[in-house]
Amino acid sequence: MSITDMLSADDIAAALQECQDPDTFEPQKFFQTSGLSKMSASQLKDVFRFIDNDQSGYLDGEELRYFLQRFQSDARELTESETKSLMEAADNDGDGKIGADEFQEMV
């Protein structure tokens, strides 16, 4: 399965273009442009499983750093501050990781 089976390649490219420079990643803008914000709960869980590289059921800081690369392999890594902001935006229970439900709420 590829992310482009779930989202338009053009929408992904546009979303990545908007945040190609370091410290320009804005999660809500990315979710909107990529089409994630228009997906159903079950579709978002499928995307979450795709992003969850180690299939642990959670996204940790390391996986978040490579978040953009899950959408396109040559995308940049998130900066430390972007990774921290993304974690803070979604980690509702403060356990240092993002579960599928937290991801869905954030999107």
Output the known binding site for Ca(2+).
Answer: 52, 54, 56, 58, 63, 91, 93, 95, 97, 102
Q: How many residues does the chain have?
A: 107
- From 76, 98, 92, select the one nearest 16 (Cα to Cα): 76
* 7 touches 31 (CB < 8 A): no
| Range list of β-strands (E), the chain | 58-59, 98-99
Residue numbers in the known binding site are 52, 54, 56, 58, 63, 91, 93, 95, 97, 102
Distance CA 17, CA 5 (A): 20
User: How many Cα atoms are found within 13 Å in the side-chain-facing hemisphere of 81?
Assistant: 5
